[in-house]
A and B are shown apart, each in its own frame.
Chain A
């Protein structure tokens, strides 16, 4: 069981402001049932003073998600919109006496819901309401802005932290590249602004060597050719061969995988069918990567590209 603070337990077992607000002046909705947590925040705003006079929440999620939502309503009631917008997810976590690291995304959800509700009240288009394509992490419906904000507000410098705070990359893993890029870019900006020690900034790693390459070769694999001497066409042939070998296994799981492009050591594949959202997709990508590295005799990076791109 999680180590929840007394305050988290209090706000979970006896949540304040749970329910709906009939005459809400602003509503913010974040998350989705598929992702495992979602929050609908309703606020009532006095138009004269722009003060939040009441707030209610409805939450689908775990204990800390419900507690964070309730805490958020307690924090913002009585504040003006501008004051409320200064609140970060850390304030929510602090209010609750801390959250387990893996649960920080619950506080981020509160922070995002508040921004959405205020935008809705002000008649602005909440940037979260974008088309599919703008989402960086499709599994959890997370866009670049949200990752950037979580990184800045909380001084995140590792991919693990980003997953704890936003859940991005936590499922199929196909968004790793994109999320890494945002983390790197944001950290670099923070360094430039003097907000972050350069030594701590995240820098996208060198191409990881496929694990186990030096170990026992699979007996069916031909000796690894020196890839530098391979032409792209030769490489593609080997890659197609490997994918062909793996295809029956993927089809068994109701999915498939095709080669899209090869660029130096980057192999773009398209996962289709059940593979797209399958829990094994990340494992599959790893598996394909390992197998390719072995056969090509060089480290490669397998990058799944979204279907239809």
Chain B
């Protein structure tokens, strides 16, 4: 049975070209980029190349605006903690209720341990940010506004360019967690007001444990990790040269494929989504259908529970994920779906399908073939499904 991997928002396969490019840096070119000898300078050149490749993908003005880190979480932490130190008396954070835990858990800790005030801006039923509330939360006390570019669960895209300008009007820094957006939507950072941006290699076919923080020239940065002078003193620790090389190659590939993402990948996603909605009643799409990543579909199936769905999908060779409580070990469904007030009849049965350029039309066919049976089977077992409630969802029309 062919495995169908539709969990690319969780992580992606490293592109073979990126693997090939990084391997020599474990063997022949193992030097330390800081060393004076030939072993080191070779590696230094490769790190610079990686930086420039990433600069190109982001449309950053200078290559030194890229600081390599150990991934998305580290970048998010660095950006927010730095702002609290560099912004003088400003000590408030404005963020959204649907951020990744890399931001939310940090904010919760800052509230608890440092008494920092954090404004969590809510979203509407489609997952769109309450921009009015955001505007009102910004004040002369705001050190930083941190709003994700695209949501990892629903794919909903936030208007970060406009949000960055609003933050600047209030004299605050603006950071965006673009871990899910980089490589999927074109960006040109030099033409935006965005001060800092976090990205992660493993979401764009580079390895896990490598990422970057874009820091606009002129924005002060306090390092999270102190030590050597690597990354111009902004992130200490010997450079992860193989990871950087692979991330550089992955960035170049992402740039080459960005049209593919927005045409072929989008078409596959749309076909899957439409096909599921047609074949399966009492299901709807969670997220802002008009403004979404091209690769993400979050489909909620009423009256059944996500973990059970995933187990049956896994048996049919399909990998996806769910915001259901049971899969995460918490007792509550996803904070994103709850912030959207997705009705509880469906919040437990939301499945996220996330594509990459490696998926094929056959993958979509296979999912469309097996999903109706899986959903029907579980609904038959559900005490809340009696066939009579088919089509009764008051929520569905919002998304029709």
Please give the residue numbers on chain A whose beta carbons come within 8 Å of chain B beta carbons, in ascending order.
1-2, 12-13, 15, 18-19, 29, 33-34, 36-40, 57-63, 65-66, 102-103, 140, 163, 167, 170-171, 211-212, 215-221, 245, 248-249, 252-254, 278-280, 283, 286-287, 290-291, 294
Contact = CB atoms under 8 A, between A and B. Distances in A.
B97 interface: yes
Contact of B308 (A58, A63, A279, A287): A63
B332 A279 contact: yes
Contacts, number: 136
Interface in B311-346: 311-312, 314-315, 324-327, 329-333, 335, 338-339, 344-345
B120 A38 contact: no
Contact of A290 (B111, B325, B381, B383): B111
Contact of A33 (B118, B331, B384): B384
Contacts of B119: 248-249, 252
Given A12-B311, A63-B308, A249-B120, 16 more contacts: A15-B381, A18-B380, A19-B381, A33-B344, A34-B344, A39-B383, A58-B383, A59-B383, A212-B113, A212-B115, A215-B114, A216-B115, A218-B116, A218-B117, A249-B117, A249-B118
Interface SS of A by simple majority: mixed
11 contacts: A1-B314, A29-B383, A33-B348, A58-B382, A62-B307, A63-B326, A171-B332, A216-B114, A216-B115, A218-B115, A245-B117
A283 to B, nearest CB: 6
Contacts of B303: 33, 60
Nearest to A1: B314
A38 B317 CA distance: 28
Nearest to A218: B115
Contact of B326 (A33, A34, A36, A290): A36
Contacts of B112: 211-212, 286-287, 290
Nearest to A32: B344
A248 B116 CA distance: 15
A215 B113 contact: yes
Contact of A66 (B91, B108, B308, B327): B308
B121 interface: yes
B79 interface: no
Given A36-B324, A102-B329, A62 B308 contact: yes
A175 to B, nearest CB: 12
B221 interface: no
B307 A252 contact: no
A25 to B, nearest CB: 18
B335 A37 contact: no
A254 B339 CA distance: 11
B304 A60 contact: yes
- Listed from nearest, the 7 A-B pairs whose CB atoms lie closest are A170-B331, A218-B115, A62-B326, A212-B113, A62-B307, A58-B383, A40-B383
Given A33-B348, A36-B331, A58-B382, A287 B307 contact: no
A62 B305 contact: yes
A291 B112 CA distance: 8
Nearest to A4: B311
B300 interface: no
A19 B133 CA distance: 48
Interface centre among B89, B303, B307, B345 (most CB of A within 10 A): B307
Given A36-B324, A36-B325, A59 B382 contact: yes
Contacts of A2: 307
B94 to A, nearest CB: 10
Interface of B: 89, 91, 97, 108, 111-122, 130, 133, 136-137, 303-308, 311-312, 314-315, 324-327, 329-333, 335, 338-339, 344-345, 348, 380-384
Contacts of A40: 383
A171 B345 CA distance: 17
Nearest to B334: A279
Contacts of B130: 252
A283 B108 CA distance: 7
A61 B91 contact: no
Contacts of B326: 36-37, 61-63, 65, 103
B318 to A, nearest CB: 13
Contact of B91 (A39, A219, A248): A219
Contacts of B304: 60
Contacts of B133: 252
Contacts of B329: 102
Contacts of A29: 383
Given A1-B314, A163-B331, A280 B305 contact: no
A9 B78 CA distance: 43
A248 B117 CA distance: 11
Contact of A140 (B118, B305, B331): B331
Contact of B307 (A15, A63, A171, A216): A63
Interface centre among B133, B136, B305 (most CB of A within 10 A): B305
B58 to A, nearest CB: 31
Contacts of A60: 303-305, 348, 382-384
A291 B110 CA distance: 12
Nearest to B339: A279
